[in-house]
Structure 1
Amino acid sequence: MARNDAVIDEEIGLESMHQRPDCSSRDRQNDDAKQEAGNHSISSSEIDLNHSSAFLVWFDTPAENPRKWSRSFRLYQVFLASAYTVLSPVSSTSNVPAIDVLQAEYNVHSALIANMMISAPMLGFLLAPSVYAPFSERFGRKYLLQVTNIANASQMIVLRFFSGVFGVAPVAIGPAFVSDLFEPEERGSAMAIYTISPILGPCLGPLYAGWIIEGFGKEKWPWIFYVSTMLGAFVAILGFFTLQETNTPVLVERKAARKRRETGDARWHTKFTTQNTLRQEVIQGIFRPCIFLATQPVVLVVCIFQGLMFGCQYLFLSSFSRLFRKEYDQSPGISGLHYFSMILAFVLSGIVGGKWVDWQYGRLKERNNGVGEPEHKLPLLISTGILMPAGLLLYGWTAQYHLHWVLPDLGMFIISWGIRFTLFICPLYLADAVSVYTASASSAGIMFRGAFAFTFPLFAPSMYDHLGHGWGNSILAMITFVVGITAPLLLIRYGRSLRERSSAAREGTRLML
């Protein structure tokens, strides 16, 4: 090739990696092999590179290619992945309305320890994603979702930490699942559907748990966890029969392995074939999210941004119900109804935001001579820096002066729009920016989200006790304003140049061309 590969990668745009047709024709396979022959790490003793085009495996029919399935079936797969994803957030916050009961049950007098009882599953978000990403990239998404869901259900009642460890798997690999199924220009709506689960789940847990405590009595608090377990069992059965594998490298590698077995010819291979052992691939994969954070600025900026916003969400989730119980003297069931302000905002912002991002991406792509770039999906993210501070100020000061409860709800409604935009646009951007390594990049983001979500609820009681809701939320408003405005603007302005320096972005694009 006459021009540098990295330059060509950036000029054609990341979405071009999804334009590859089903390679049923030998001519296209020949072209692919010529382009990729110098990049294969498989040895020439196994494959005659002069004739490797005849043995290069790709999808032969639309039925084999997840992106060629019917749109309704792909959306069903996203819905199913969302069902897996909702389980851990539901269980992680379901004990919020019962925290007073649990403190009395286990003789806990420290507010810090009580909040750790809420946020402990987030430690699993911090530790486990770096393990799940390489396994999903090596073995696929399907079985990892199913196995971790079964483990989550059995451990949920006993150890909330392990509930987080096993429950984070769908959260970590979900954006990669969406990336497997949809082209860049249609991912906005799909990602909006998927990401409703990790942020809606924390609202649903306290909602039903509050009515269990109020309707059946405090001694029935174990039913909070029984309900979560039954929900997990239902999703496990549904997924066992209908969930499909979507990971392109895994699917074509399985096809190549099948051809090698059937023909006895070791020359059948794919673009993803390497000489690495399973042990090497797993070790490399485990460290890849941390390597991304240390060496890929485009990943680090996005992870910090969404981590901060997710931490704010868990801070409110741990204190929202308590505010209405203690300051407004409402019962656990009634106080849980205020989570509807968040639920409504999450649903509406997902519908509006998903369609807006897809429309905006198409418009900016057309302006850019038909070349779409990941940064074309970021402009809506700037609204986070406006919505979050505005909602925080309204929520904080109306709660401070005990104004009518509808005003704090309105503040939380506005805050939730900002959180929602952040938590579906950031994974969407990473899916386009690093392509085949989406699971690893998403795992890096989940680790940050876990760290913030675990620590923020811990200092919430002390912050509100010393500063009150007004000034406490004003500090958060200032932080979210600065980060919420500057981070998207920096990515829009410099994201392309950061990706040009990113080996992960270049390699991910090359493999999927």
Structure 2
Amino acid sequence: MAWENVKSSEGFHPTRRPTDYLPELGPWDVALTNEAQSPEGTEVNNEEANIESKSHRSSLEEEQGQSMGIDGKEHPKEVNPLLVTWDENDAHENPRAWKSSYRMFLVFVVSCYTFLSPLSSTANVPALDVLKREFNVDSFVIGNMMMSASMLAFVVGPSFYAPLSERYGRKYILQVANVLFLIFNVCCGLAKNSSTMIVLRFFAGLAGVAPVTIGPGVVADLFEPEERGTAMSMYTLSPILGPCVGPIYAGWIIQAYGEDKWPWIFWASTMFSGVVTVFGLFVLKETYTPVLLERKAKKLRKETGNDGYHTIFTQKETLGQRVLHGLLRPPIFYFTQPVIFVVCTYQALMFGCQYLLLASFSRVFKEEYGEPPGIASLHYIAMVLGFLVAGQAGGRWTDWNYRRLKAKNGGVGKPEFKLPLLIATGIFMPAGLLLYGWTVEYHIHWIVPDIGIFILACGARATMFISPLYLADSVTMYAASASGAAVMTRGVFSFTFPLFAPNMYDALGQGWGNSVLALVTACLGLPAPFILYKYGERLRLRSSYSKRGMTLMT
């Protein structure tokens, strides 16, 4: 089949040769396969794994009609007519050939799904004191676990959802998980004790983490690298805006209707979730190219009776191999791929500090400023404004700057070209923490702490959309698994940070407590973007998955 430009009403979208979609087989990938096939105790040689990877790629290059001669040039061969790829007649099926406005609409739909679980994760913050009294809880840790238990599920869920979405597609995983989230969220409003609440919150988070994990993969499915900045900034607004909006509406429910109406905090979010779920059932489409091409091959096999039709993604794996490859991929990515380890740890630290503050704002403004729950919840608006300003302006600037740096580099783009915004905003989080902490300590007018919240929110926002954008560009083929590793790490930090926050602030006060956080974020947040910008390419080249990241699925 001819590999030509596919034209949409928005312009030309280049498709790629089949081997451009093929990931390198890393040593751990081959090791897992051999582990499932070989007797226990058999060691796998890394050199043999690399030879197998090269042999695998060479055979596919021959299948698509190319080989490399001794003169270093590609020589055409006969194309395998049974290899199923995108062609000029598939513009309506190829996700990257769809109209730009429609692709952005799909990102909006997925971002609505992503908004639901973070919205619920902090919604009960204004009601924690009410829940502690009603459930006879005296411990700060148990009280905060009724909020942060949903974040603990973020550690577990990505190991399942990321590989499932890369095996069976994005659409159905998102829809099934969202229905389960609705069920558990309704049940949270019916809880009669703290143990039940914690367990239900965990399972609601386990279901709700699916779109948080899969969303960056959807963006990578739909957009070229130079287009992803704006799309990713819109998508990533949901997981960080949700935790800010939740306490606002929950605070007014408690203040306006009474403390005994706390179940409506969960039921109100469930009603909104139901609307989003029904909407998504009708408009959400599959975006993952390997799944779409496999469906095309299956259709051809059925129509022609020829079982030879296949794609470059067709793999003959046992169920055990699929489980090993799929469930272990996110944690293995985190611990074996240097660039993913650095980015995920940096992002998780910033998110943990943000979540700690989200859990403490309501208490601070009620106790330090004597404000009722509804009024105290309005201070989250300062964080919302910071997210909106940094996200929208930063996304557009990142796309513009990426194209500029790409042109200066001879038309060759690199994931590191997305990092300059992170370098510029690295100081925002520690500066905002210092301004917020010390002005609260001395009871300065509330507008000054809100300015500090706005500044730190700008820094957090830049981190939360540049980090997944960088990962998506580095390992595009496995963007969902890379995102899964990031979500798992964020889950660990956002679960643990709120647990020690009350004791830290009681011991150090708001001034010194937030100064400690500022120091920690400065130690990592200031040098990390520079290190990634200068050495990120070297780190990526050490990974068999990311060293071809600019060509996989692009």
Relative to structure 1, the CA distance from residue 31 to residue 473 in structure 2 (aligned partners, 3 Å threshold; closer, same or farther) is closer
Q: Could you list the per-position Cα deviations for residues 137-161 of structure 1 after superposition, in whole angstroms to 9, with x for gaps in the alignment?
A: 0011111110000000101133000
Partner of 1:75: 104
Partner of 1:100: 129
Q: Provide runs of 4+ in structure 1 moved above 4 Å.
A: 28-33, 40-43, 46-52, 507-511
Please point out which of 261, 267, 279 is paired with 2:308.
267
- Once the two structures are overlaid, the 10-residue window that deviates more, 379-388 or 302-311, is 379-388
Q: CA deviation at 1:282?
A: 3.2
Partner of 2:40: none
Which amino acid counterpart does residue 269 of structure 1 have in structure 2?
Answer: H
Partner of 2:153: 124
Is the aligned partner of 1:231 residue 2:224? no
Q: Could you list the per-position Cα deviations for residues 178-206 of structure 1 after superposition, in whole angstroms to 9, with x for gaps in the alignment?
A: 01111111100000000000000001100
Partner of 1:21: 14
Which amino acid counterpart does residue 73 of structure 1 have in structure 2?
Answer: Y
Query: Equivalences for 1:84-483 in 2 at 5 Å?
Result: 84-156=113-185, 157-158=187-188, 159-483=200-524
Aligned partners of 1:94 and 1:224 also within 8 Å: yes
Q: CA deviation at 1:275?
A: 1.5
Q: Could you list the per-position Cα deviations for residues 199-251 of structure 1 after superposition, in whole angstroms to 9, with x for gaps in the alignment?
A: 00001100000010111111111000001111111111000000010001111
CA distance in 1, matches of 2:489, 2:468: 13
- Once the two structures are overlaid, the 10-residue window that deviates more, 277-286 or 235-244, is 277-286
Q: CA deviation at 1:112?
A: 1.4
Aligned partners of 2:432 and 2:454 also within 8 Å: yes
Partner SS for 1:107 = coil
CA distance in 1, matches of 2:350, 2:64: 49
Q: TM-score with structure 2 length normalisation? A: 0.84
Which amino acid counterpart does residue 82 of structure 2 have in structure 1?
Answer: F
CA distance in 1, matches of 2:323, 2:97: 29
Aligned partners of 2:19 and 2:57 also within 8 Å: no
CA distance in 2, matches of 1:439, 1:394: 36
Which amino acid counterpart does residue 86 of structure 2 have in structure 1?
Answer: F
Aligned partners of 1:96 and 1:206 also within 8 Å: yes
Q: CA deviation at 1:406?
A: 0.7
Q: Could you list the per-position Cα deviations for residues 43-87 of structure 1 after superposition, in whole angstroms to 9, with x for gaps in the alignment?
A: 9xx999986621111123211111111111111100000000010
CA distance in 1, matches of 2:538, 2:151: 33
Is the aligned partner of 1:55 residue 2:55? no
CA distance in 2, matches of 1:337, 1:177: 33
Q: Could you list the per-position Cα deviations for residues 269-302 of structure 1 after superposition, in whole angstroms to 9, with x for gaps in the alignment?
A: 1111112234422320110111111210000000
Residues matched between the structures, number: 488
Q: TM-score with structure 1 length normalisation? A: 0.91
Relative to structure 1, the CA distance from residue 52 to residue 98 in structure 2 (aligned partners, 3 Å threshold; closer, same or farther) is same
- Once the two structures are overlaid, the 10-residue window that deviates more, 93-102 or 500-509, is 500-509
Which amino acid counterpart does residue 302 of structure 2 have in structure 1?
Answer: R
Q: CA deviation at 1:309?
A: 0.5
Partner of 1:502: 543
Partner SS for 1:503 = coil
Which amino acid counterpart does residue 94 of structure 1 have in structure 2?
Answer: A
Aligned partners of 2:475 and 2:482 also within 8 Å: yes
CA distance in 1, matches of 2:65, 2:470: 39
Please point out which of 470, 492, 498 is paired with 2:533.
492
Q: CA deviation at 1:100?
A: 0.8
- Once the two structures are overlaid, the 10-residue window that deviates more, 499-508 or 436-445, is 499-508
CA distance in 1, matches of 2:64, 2:441: 71
C-alpha RMSD over aligned residues? 2.4
Aligned partners of 1:98 and 1:210 also within 8 Å: yes
Q: CA deviation at 1:512?
A: 3.3
Q: CA deviation at 1:114?
A: 1.0
Partner SS for 1:273 = coil
Relative to structure 1, the CA distance from residue 506 to residue 250 in structure 2 (aligned partners, 3 Å threshold; closer, same or farther) is farther
Which amino acid counterpart does residue 277 of structure 1 have in structure 2?
Answer: T
Aligned partners of 2:347 and 2:490 also within 8 Å: yes
Aligned partners of 1:92 and 1:119 also within 8 Å: yes
Q: CA deviation at 1:260?
A: 1.3
- Once the two structures are overlaid, the 10-residue window that deviates more, 413-422 or 49-58, is 49-58
Aligned partners of 1:385 and 1:485 also within 8 Å: yes
Relative to structure 1, the CA distance from residue 511 to residue 270 in structure 2 (aligned partners, 3 Å threshold; closer, same or farther) is farther
CA distance in 2, matches of 1:20, 1:88: 34
Q: CA deviation at 1:91?
A: 0.6
Aligned partners of 1:211 and 1:332 also within 8 Å: yes
CA distance in 1, matches of 2:525, 2:257: 43
- Once the two structures are overlaid, the 10-residue window that deviates more, 77-86 or 61-70, is 61-70
Higher relative contact order (CA 8 A, sep 6+): 1
Which amino acid counterpart does residue 123 of structure 2 have in structure 1?
Answer: S
Which amino acid counterpart does residue 514 of structure 2 have in structure 1?
Answer: N
CA distance in 1, matches of 2:211, 2:511: 36
CA distance in 1, matches of 2:550, 2:56: 13
CA distance in 1, matches of 2:330, 2:237: 24
Q: CA deviation at 1:361?
A: 0.3
Partner SS for 2:475 = helix
CA distance in 2, matches of 1:52, 1:371: 28
CA distance in 1, matches of 2:405, 2:549: 23
Q: What percentage of aligned pairs have identical amino acids?
A: 57
Partner SS for 1:504 = coil
Partner SS for 2:115 = helix
Relative to structure 1, the CA distance from residue 509 to residue 371 in structure 2 (aligned partners, 3 Å threshold; closer, same or farther) is closer
Relative to structure 1, the CA distance from residue 354 to residue 29 in structure 2 (aligned partners, 3 Å threshold; closer, same or farther) is closer
Q: Could you list the per-position Cα deviations for residues 338-393 of structure 1 after superposition, in whole angstroms to 9, with x for gaps in the alignment?
A: 11101111111111110111011011101101100000000111233210111010
Partner of 2:94: 65
Aligned partners of 1:74 and 1:181 also within 8 Å: yes
Q: Could you list the per-position Cα deviations for residues 114-143 of structure 1 after superposition, in whole angstroms to 9, with x for gaps in the alignment?
A: 111111100110111011011000011111
Partner SS for 2:125 = coil
Q: Could you list the per-position Cα deviations for residues 447-489 of structure 1 after superposition, in whole angstroms to 9, with x for gaps in the alignment?
A: 0000000000011101100000100111111111111111111
